[in-house]
Every structure is written in C-alpha cells, then in structure tokens.
Structure 1
C-alpha cells in the first residue's frame, strides 16, 4: 500500500465529507479512494470512518488519526516547498482564525492585496470570536486581541487597539448628551459585551489627564459580538464602547456620534499566535508579515479615538 496516498485520501474524505468529493478533488476514481481507505484501516487494524448511504463521519480513532495525519502532510508540504521554487512563491493551504470584528472590517477587505502578492496560497479563514484550540483544530495561526494567557504558545505583537464611545443621534435626542463618563451611571443605557468564553460582562476603564473612570452603568442589552453591538447602537438602543475601526464610517456619515473627547481606554495588544512546536513555514511567515504591515498602516488601528481632544 502507498501509505502516503492513503493518508492523503483519508484527510481529503474527512475534509470533503464524501468519497465522491474527495475523489474529484484528488483527480482519482472513487473506487480508488475507497480502496485506499479500506487498506489503510486494515493496516491500522481500526475503523477510521463510519459510512452510510448519505454521509461519512469520523470515528474517535479516525479523529485522532486525522489530527496527526494533517500535521504530517503539512510538514511534508512545507519540506517540499523549502526544496523548490515555492520558497520564493509560497503555496498551499493556510488555516487562520481571526476575530469577527478584525476579519470583517480590516483583514477581508485587504485580501485582494494579499492574493496579488501570493496567488498560490489557499487561505482557509475562520472568522469568529470563539476560543480556538490551535493544536486540536490544526490551525496554522490565529490573530487575537488582548493579552495571551497561554504561555505555551508563541505570540508576536502586531498592533494594538482602543475602544471609544458613541451613540445614535436618536438615542442622544431622547436621553441627552452625557458630558462626562460618570454621567453614564444615571439616566443612560449602555450596550454591554458578554464574554463568549465564560458568559461574564466585560468592564472597562477610561482615562484622561490622570483621571480614571470605570464604566459599568445600566444596560438592557448585552451582546457577545462586536458587529452586533454596532447594529444595536445604530438602532438607538444605548451608548456603546467599541473598536474605533468598526464605527468610523458610521461616525463620518452621521449615523453615530462620538462621545467624551479626550477620554480613552488602555491600549489592548493584537497578537498573531502559533504553536511553538510547529515550523513557521514560508506561507505562514508571509501571512504574518503581511498582517503586521496591514495593521501598521491602517488608519484606525492604534488610534485612541475618532474624536480629538478639545
């Protein structure tokens, strides 16, 4: 048995979900793929896949084998790339996970530039705020905001961000314009954020001229997604603290109004993170460098506010 081909076929079947799709993607007849998987299972003396007439699912042993096989195939791809012209022109699949806010507002709109530079990289982009297990989910790298608590991972700081406050004109007409962050404690509604990890409400502190105010206030709505928070602010549901780059165009259009000139939160770092035991391949390296360059020149990353201090 060509174990390498069998391993490739198994990984493709798991990822495609069917033998037919896997065979098409590999340019093989379906019976050949089926035979490779059967021979692989016989050599391992274990069942890797559950097959029905409608779908294919992975057994527990199959899931463990898929994780290791994916890494081995990735390492093989990187080895071949390092020995060929692909080093000058990186190629292959790159699995990346990024927060929804950064993905939708910053990274995805800039991807035409990335593909113009690296047309042979196939990017698999996870866009969500859920915690990702880099090792278990075989992710090449993730972009995360805030401090990195897992010290077993390698983290490169590529930028920082701030939060700013804003509200819709309709909300401010109904409730008045607060002049100081402490005014949020009375007569105003906040749109709060709740952690997807533990379900707790986020708290934040704003600073100006040595004065610090912790923002809590009353809320009728809490969301676990930054884009949902912006939608709620546009609907006039309350005062929102959010990322500057998410609301700049709404402020420019007049749909939202910035509040509290000169007040800002502490800078939060943005890191790109990858496993310490994984060789930083050329395709990962060029993506990391590209993102760092993108964030460094982005007008609304590393800016404290869209509203200057008086």
Structure 2
C-alpha cells in the first residue's frame, strides 16, 4: 500500500504548484517532498508531473490520479485526526497570522487559557497588517477581515467588520455634531492610507433605513496604521473612521465618541481562516473551536456591530 506521506506530498504539490510551497505546508524540505513524489511515481510506474525550473504541471495521468484519490486521502486524514483527538493531546507548532492591534487586544489575552488546556501546542504567531497566503506560506490559521478564500481554504465568521466615525470629547467641545456623513467635511480629518494600495481609504456609510452616503473626511493628517489613526483621534487631533474593535476600548474609557451613531460602513466580516476541513490537524481544529466559542460566549459580534448605534459602547460585565 502506498504511504500516506507520499500521497499527501503529491496532493499538496499539485494544489500549490511547487515542491517548495508544499514543503512549507507540510513542514518538510522541498527535497523531501520531491523524494516522496518521486517514490510515488516509481511505485505507480507513471509520471505524475511535468517538471520545469519555473513550476510543476500535472500530466494527464496525474490529473486523473489526483481526482481519484483526493477525497479518499482527505477522509483518511480526518479519521486519523479524530482518533488523535480522542486518544491523545493535540500537539505541534500552531502558526497563526493576525493584525497587531486586533491580535494583541482580543486574541493574545486568550493564550494563557489556551495553553493551559493544550500544553503540547506551541504557538508561533505573526502580528502584521497584510493579507497572507494561508496555504502557500504554511499558516495553520489567520484571523482578520477581507482575506480571499483561495482553493483549499475555508472561513468561520467571528463578528461583523464595521467602520464608524469618531472623535474625542475634547475635540468636539464647542463644535456642532455633523448631521450626516457629508457633514464630516466641516471637521478636521485623520485619514488612513492603505498599506496594500497606497491610496487613501474611502468609506461609504449606511444607516438602518438603507440610505448610503460617502464619508466626507478632509486630509489634515494621514497615517497608514488603523491603530495609530484611532489613537490620534483619542488625542483630540480630529475626526477618524475606525473599525469597531479598534474603538471599543476607547468608547468604554470615554476617550472617543461616535459622531454618527446611526451610520456605519460595512466592509464584510472578521473571520478565522484555515485549511480545508478534510485535512485539518487537531491543533488547528481545537484552536478554531476555542476562538469561535470565546467570541460567542462573550458576545463580541454584538459589541463590534456598528449597526447597533451607541448602545453597544457601554462597558459590559
């Protein structure tokens, strides 16, 4: 019988288009992946890939073989995972990507409880403001918003991703509250420049009635980090558009207020992303379940919903 390691090396190489990418996903060297695939080809007596210096391409026989075995290998891997969950502790390096501010404030505080529950898992977490290629870069999971679901990845929604208009009480003292998003133009704006595109972010706000209107911020100050924008607003430097998770702590301390409680910009969801369930290691499965359950139990989806107006700023016990 062909070894599972050889079959998995073949499947990952076919999905990712290179032995190097497959190696990162499987925690093997490219040479080890190449040897496993070569052994599989030798045992089967067929060539599965056309190799070049630039990429791997499946042969016709390789395409047929992939379609025949992919689901079966996935089912076998799932069975092994379930047995390991019942008969032993989840273990191994858990590589996760998340944004610095959101990760530090909402995910990192969960680490002591998680490690106490799963002591054989070793977290390797990266805090960065960029979209990662989950499979190609070898991440077990990523937490954030707006990540593209490439082939072989799935997501579980944690909370809405809503943007709201804020300023400090000190900045608004003596100033009139804007009646709608267009009224923001009368105030000094703190704008966010996207690190990915280099452009100033533009927001379309909406209300419960379904009306939509652009947020008319000026450009008194421009920054490229969402957490810095929120902090600058709390210092009384002007008006900003920030994500609800970045604002909640400031709202609870009274350092920021929402200027348009009935208006918000909807940019999708905050989700946890991970590889296809059929090949999900035990360490990843328990992490996804742990994070999802924490968000559900603590009502974070409601706290992060800008559509609920000002009522969800109040400090919750």
Q: How many residues align?
A: 245
Shift in CA distance, 132/87, structure 1 to aligned 2, threshold 3 Å:
farther
Candidates 46, 51, 70, aligned match of 2:27: 70
CA apart distance, 1:248: 2.2
Query: Deviation per CA, 1:120-154, whole angstroms, max 9, x where unpaired?
Result: 211111111123233443211212202x4343241
Q: CA deviation at 1:218?
A: 0.8
Partner of 2:106: 106
Question: 1:45: which partner in 2?
Answer: none
Q: Report deviation, 1:231.
A: 1.1
Query: Which whole-Å CA distance do the structure 2 matches of 1:95 and 1:275 have between them?
Result: 12
The reply on whether 1:262 has 2:265 as its aligned counterpart is no
Task: Write out per-residue CA displacement over residues 10-54 of structure 1, whole angstroms, 9 at most, x where no aligned residue.
Answer: xxxxxxxxxxxxxxxxxxxxxxxxxxxxxxxxxxxxxxxxxxxxx
Matches within 5 A, 1:63-212: 67=24, 70-71=27-28, 88-146=88-146, 148-159=147-158, 160-173=160-173, 175-185=175-185, 187-208=186-207, 209-212=209-212
Aligned counterparts of 1:216 and 1:155: Cα–Cα separation in 2? 36
Aligned to 2:310: 307
Residues 87-142 of structure 1, C-alpha deviation per residue, up to 9 Å, x if partnerless?
54211111000122320221112222222321221111111112323344321121
Name whichever of 243-252 and 278-287 sits farther off: 243-252
- Unaligned 5+ segments in structure 1 are 1-62
Q: Which residue of the partner structure matches residue 17 of structure 1? A: none
TM-score, scaled relative to structure 2: 0.66
Structure 1 residues 268 and 297: CA distance shift in structure 2, 3 A: farther
Q: Distance in 1 between matches of 2:153 and 2:103?
A: 21
Structure 1 range deviating more: 83-92 or 132-141: 83-92
Checking the alignment, whether the CA contact within 8 Å between 1:244 and 1:301 is kept in structure 2 is no
1:157 Cα shift?
2.5
Give 1:206 deviation, angstroms: 1.6
Secondary structure of the residue aligned to 2:173 is helix
Structure 2: distance between partners of 1:249 and 1:277: 34
Q: TM-score, normalised by structure 1?
A: 0.67
* 1:171-210 per-position Cα deviation (integer Å, ceiling 9, x unaligned): 112644323222112x212222222211122222221222
In the alignment, the residues of structure 2 paired with residue 120 and residue 288 of structure 1 have an alpha-carbon distance, to the nearest angstrom, of 16
Q: 1:144 to 1:211 in 2, by over 3 A?
A: same
- 3-state secondary structure, aligned to 1:266: strand
Distance (Å, rounded) in 2 between the aligned partners of 1:188 and 1:100: 29
1:223 and 1:88 map into 2 onto residues whose CA distance is 48
The equivalent residue for 2:3 is none
* Alignment check: 8 A CA contact 1:161 1:301 kept: no
Q: Which residue of 2 aligns with 1:18?
A: none
Two-structure CA RMSD over aligned residues (Å)? 3.4
Contact 2:191 2:217 in 1 (8 A): no
